[in-house]
C-alpha cells in the first residue's frame, strides 16, 4: 500500500516522468538490488545484450593468463585470480590491459556456483573498462547442467537455486507494480515436472536451454577461442572439430543454450570425443598423449601453434606435452575435486610461457 500511495502521489506531481521514465529507473534499481543479493556482493551493472556476441578469433595480446576449472569454489577462484594479479583484495579487477581466459567448468562439485557466475560476469565488465578482457569458456559441466544432468551438483548449491528463484520472483513482483515486468517473469515450471524436488526444479528451469541463467551466463561463452597462436578449449579440439568449424561450434552451442534450436544438444558436445570431453591431449604421462592428432588439429586452424586445455586434473600442476604444443591447466583447485593449490598459465607476447 505504501508503494502504491507514493506512486499515485508522485504521478500527480510528475506525470511525464512517472509514465515515461520511472518504470525504467525503478526496473534498473530492482535489477541492481536483486543481482547484488544473488551475487552475495557486487554484481555487473551493464545492460546485457539479448543475444550472445560471440568471438572465436582474437589477435595476440601482450599478457595473456589462462585459468583452469573452478568447480563451484569461490575461495580458490579468488586465489587463482589474485595469483595472476587480476583482482585486488576487494575482488575488483586489477589486471589492467591483461587478457584472461577461464577454460570452463564453473559449475558442479562446489557450493558457490552462482557466486562464481556473477563474479565472472562482473569481472568481464570491469576488465573491459580497464582495457583488458576476461573470456569465459563453456565446459562439459555447463553442458551437462543444461541437459538437466545434476549428478555432480552439491545439495547446498542446488538449494541456492531455489533461493535464486525466490529472489527473481520477488523482483518480478516489484517491477510489476509500475508496469515494467516485461522480461522479468519468474521461471515457469516445465510441463510434467511438478513432482520434482523444488530446489532441483529451480536449477533445471534456470539452466535448461532457454532458461534465464543459461541465456545470461552460459550462452554468451564460447566453446573454443583462439587468441593469437593459442587455442583455448575445455576438453580438446580434434581434427573433426576443426573441419566442422570453430565459429560454427560456438554459434550452434549458443543457439542451443538460448533455446533457439530445441532441447537436443549438438552432436559435437556429446560423447567421449566431444570438444568439451576429449582427453586425447590430457594424459599426465606425456607419452600417452595423441601428439599426431594434436598436430593435425592445429594444422587445420590458421595461425595456431598451441592448445590450452582443462578438464583433466594434473597432479603435477600446470604442464606441457607434445613439444609444448599443448598446455594442461586443470590443477583440481576446487575443494570438491582435488583441493589443489591454484596455478595459472601466463603467455607473454604470444611466445613466452610462464
User: Known catalytic residues?
Assistant: 141
Residue 55 burial (10 A CB sphere; 0-12, 13-18, 19+)? middle
Q: Give me the DSSP letters along 49-105.
A: PSS-----EE---SEEEEE---TT-HHHHHHHHHHTT-B-TTS-B--TT-EEEE-S-
Q: Does residue 42 contact residue 324 with C-beta atoms inside 8 Å?
A: no
* 57-58 and 230-233 beta bridge pairing: unpaired
What are the Cα distances from residue 76, in Å, to 43, 179, 321, 352?
A: 19, 42, 26, 26
Residue 171: enclosing H or E segment and its boundaries?
helix 155-176
d(CA 254, CA 298): 24
Amino acid at each position: 500500500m505504501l508503494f502504491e500511495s507514493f506512486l499515485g502521489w508522485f504521478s500527480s506531481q510528475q506525470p511525464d516522468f512517472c509514465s515515461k521514465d520511472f518504470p525504467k529507473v525503478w526496473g534498473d534499481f530492482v535489477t541492481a538490488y536483486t543481482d547484488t543479493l544473488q551475487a552475495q556482493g557486487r554484481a555487473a551493472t551493464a545492460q546485457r545484450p539479448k543475444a550472445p556476441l560471440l568471438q572465436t578469433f582474437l589477435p595476440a595480446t601482450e599478457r595473456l593468463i589462462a585459468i583452469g576449472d573452478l568447480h563451484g569454489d569461490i575461495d580458490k577462484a579468488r586465489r587463482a585470480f589474485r595469483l595472476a594479479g587480476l583482482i585486488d583484495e576487494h575482488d575488483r579487477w586489477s589486471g589492467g590491459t591483461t587478457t584472461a581466459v577461464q577454460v570452463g567448468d564453473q559449475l558442479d562439485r562446489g557450493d558457490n556456483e552462482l557466486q562464481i557466475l556473477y563474479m565472472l560476469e562482473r569481472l568481464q565488465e570491469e576488465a573491459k573498462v580497464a582495457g583488458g578482457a576476461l573470456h569465459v569458456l563453456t565446459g562439459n559441466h555447463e553442458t551437462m547442467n543444461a541437459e538437466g544432468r545434476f549428478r555432480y551438483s552439491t545439495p547446498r548449491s542446488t538449494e541456492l537455486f531455489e533461493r535464486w528463484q525466490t529472489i527473481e520472483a520477488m523482483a518480478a513482483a516489484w517491477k510489476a507494480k509500475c508496469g515494467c515486468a516485461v522480461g522479468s517473469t519468474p521461471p515457469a515450471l516445465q510441463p510434467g515436472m511438478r513432482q520434482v524436488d523444488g530446489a532441483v526444479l529451480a536449477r533445471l528451469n534456470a539452466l535448461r536451454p532457454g532458461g534465464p541463467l543459461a541465456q545470461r551466463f552460459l550462452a554468451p561463452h564460447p566453446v573454443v577461442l583462439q587468441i593469437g597462436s593459442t587455442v583455448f578449449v575445455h576438453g580438446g579440439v580434434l581434427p573433426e572439430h576443426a573441419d566442422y568449424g570453430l565459429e560454427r561450434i560456438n554459434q550452434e552451442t549458443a543457439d542451443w543454450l538460448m533455446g533457439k534450436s530445441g532441447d537436443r544438444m549438438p552432436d559435437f558436445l556429446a560423447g567421449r570425443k566431444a570438444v568439451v570431453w576429449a582427453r586425447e591431449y590430457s594424459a599426465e604421462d606425456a607419452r600417452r598423449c595423441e601428439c599426431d592428432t594434436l598436430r593435425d588439429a592445429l594444422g587445420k586452424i590458421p595461425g595456431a601453434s598451441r592448445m590450452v586445455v582443462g578438464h583433466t586434473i594434473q597432479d603435477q600442476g600446470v604442464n606441457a606435452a607434445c613439444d609444448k604444443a599443448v598446455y594442461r591447466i586443470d590443477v583440481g583447485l576446487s575443494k570438491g575435486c582435488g583441493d589443489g593449490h591454484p596455478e595459472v598459465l601466463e603467455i607473454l607476447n604470444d611466445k613466452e610461457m610462464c
